[in-house]
Homo-oligomer: A and B are copies of this chain.
């Protein structure tokens, strides 16, 4: 095999990096903390974008674009937001370079200092609400339902490809509504869009729930989240949707005249997912041979590898493969024939396994004579020889089956690793072994913080599906009364 992958059991973290790098998804760039997303990785991200964008538009959302830069003073407007966001960020202070009079290079021109520094957006609530002020005057202007696909920058100290990078790509939706109820409904609608996307397209059995007040977005009254379990039992927050109340409307003075002629502040939501989803995809489904891509997101769904000794055999097999390719493409599948003549089939098999292609077809002269083809599934690594007759329809069905099967496997894994826990000593041990623990919580920030300090575990969410457990009990740590169990886990 050309590229060795670290085994998960040996070093899970190194395994993750190996997959991201060796499957050609991404790499570190020359700029600290910023990654390069390589064509194969970007093709997966494009598929995510395309599906999500269609789902957003069906809910009435339109795309728009707002500035990369935010005046520093905007961050001071919303008190909680400044505390949460305006700290580790990229600050533009000058607008010109000039030739270094003492050398060959360039230096920052001290005369080109900006009057007010600009922050490279870590998120766009402030610049967008300063814009909405001009758009919204009357109830007739509402709702405003905008989304933007863009880059954002948060100056993270420790970075990991996709999971935590200084610059990342995302979408951020920002909506404005006439009533609190309408805004809350929108925040819920969008977290359900994310959950459906995660489950049906990414094959990720996410848990939907509310964040505890401690873990809310800076400036939100409620944060809804989708939480996914990785193969090491850690949680990955895969998307969030916030009900922002009137906080940003008040900070940027966005009022409207309601249909009774009275002035009111506007109600807001925001919601986003990012290239972090790529990290979730790798970690949830990959195995020791490489990526395992759900067919719905695979840039190549079917790869064909010809096996031959002579030039004549090569041509005959490639001709048949070209026919198969046309047939599969007509069914809407993406297909690649790997006709590289300088590499052995075994090398190609390993490469496409590493890259997670769901189905591999291999065919040699004997297959051709017998009218058969070898079909290999990436997820189970099963190989079967099948008749060529009707193979296109079979593969179409197989791809759907693989999609479901990857989901089922992840769901079974999750269910096997979620447990109720009512004993603090047990909690401390189990939480370190990669479990999601359903525990009673007294609802206070103090208890939550104490548990985090002792174990690093946080409340991932107060679930609204999957593991809803509204029952009376006592907090696992404080012993105080509790009304429901919440999901504790150690997270990325």
| Residue positions of A touching B, CB distance < 8 A | 27, 29-31, 34-39, 42-43, 45-46, 62-76, 82, 86-98, 104-106, 108, 117-120, 127, 130-131, 134, 140, 146, 150-151, 153, 155, 167, 169, 342
Q: Tell me the complex Cα distance, A486–B335, Å.
A: 47
Highest count of chain B CB atoms <10 Å: which of A65, A75, A86: A65
Q: Which residue of B lies closest to A155 (CB)?
A: B95
Q: Hey, which chain B residues are within 8 Å of A146, CB to CB?
A: 39
26 residue pairs bridging A and B, Cβ less than 8 Å apart: A27-B134, A29-B67, A30-B67, A30-B71, A30-B74, A34-B67, A34-B69, A35-B67, A36-B64, A39-B64, A45-B65, A68-B120, A69-B90, A72-B108, A75-B97, A76-B105, A76-B106, A86-B97, A86-B106, A87-B96, A89-B95, A90-B92, A91-B95, A91-B96, A92-B120, A95-B155
What are the 9 A-B residue pairs with the smallest beta carbon separation, nearest first?
A39-B62, A34-B67, A37-B65, A76-B105, A91-B94, A95-B155, A93-B93, A31-B67, A90-B92
Q: Hey, which chain B residues are within 8 Å of A73, CB to CB?
A: 105
Q: Tell me the complex Cα distance, A98–B75, Å.
A: 11
> With A68-B34, A72-B106 given, is the CB distance from A89 to B97 under 8 Å?
yes
Q: Hey, which chain B residues are within 8 Å of A151, CB to CB?
A: 68, 150-151
Q: Tell me the complex Cα distance, A343–B256, Å.
A: 20
Q: Hey, which chain B residues are within 8 Å of A95, CB to CB?
A: 88-91, 155
Selected contact of A68 from candidates B37, B88, B167, CB within 8 Å: B167
> With A30-B130, A82-B106 given, is the CB distance from A97 to B119 under 8 Å?
yes
Q: Hey, which chain B residues are within 8 Å of A46, CB to CB?
A: 63
Q: Which residue of B lies closest to A70 (CB)?
A: B31
Q: Are A68 and B36 in contact (CB under 8 A)?
A: no
Selected contact of A94 from candidates B37, B93, B105, B127, CB within 8 Å: B93
Q: Tell me the complex Cα distance, A27–B68, Å.
A: 15
Q: Hey, which chain B residues are within 8 Å of A96, CB to CB?
A: 87-89, 91, 155
Q: Which residue of B lies closest to A343 (CB)?
A: B140
Q: Hey, which chain B residues are within 8 Å of A75, CB to CB?
A: 97, 106
Q: Which residue of B lies closest to A153 (CB)?
A: B68
Q: Tell me the complex Cα distance, A118–B29, Å.
A: 13
Q: Hey, which chain B residues are within 8 Å of A130, CB to CB?
A: 29-30
Q: Are A65 and B88 in contact (CB under 8 A)?
A: no
Selected contact of A36 from candidates B65, B86, B119, B342, CB within 8 Å: B65
Q: Which residue of B lies closest to A100 (CB)?
A: B76
Q: Are B67 and A38 in contact (CB under 8 A)?
A: no
Report the minimal beta-carbon distance from A454 to chain B, rounded to whole angstroms.
Answer: 30
Q: Hey, which chain B residues are within 8 Å of A64, CB to CB?
A: 36-39, 42
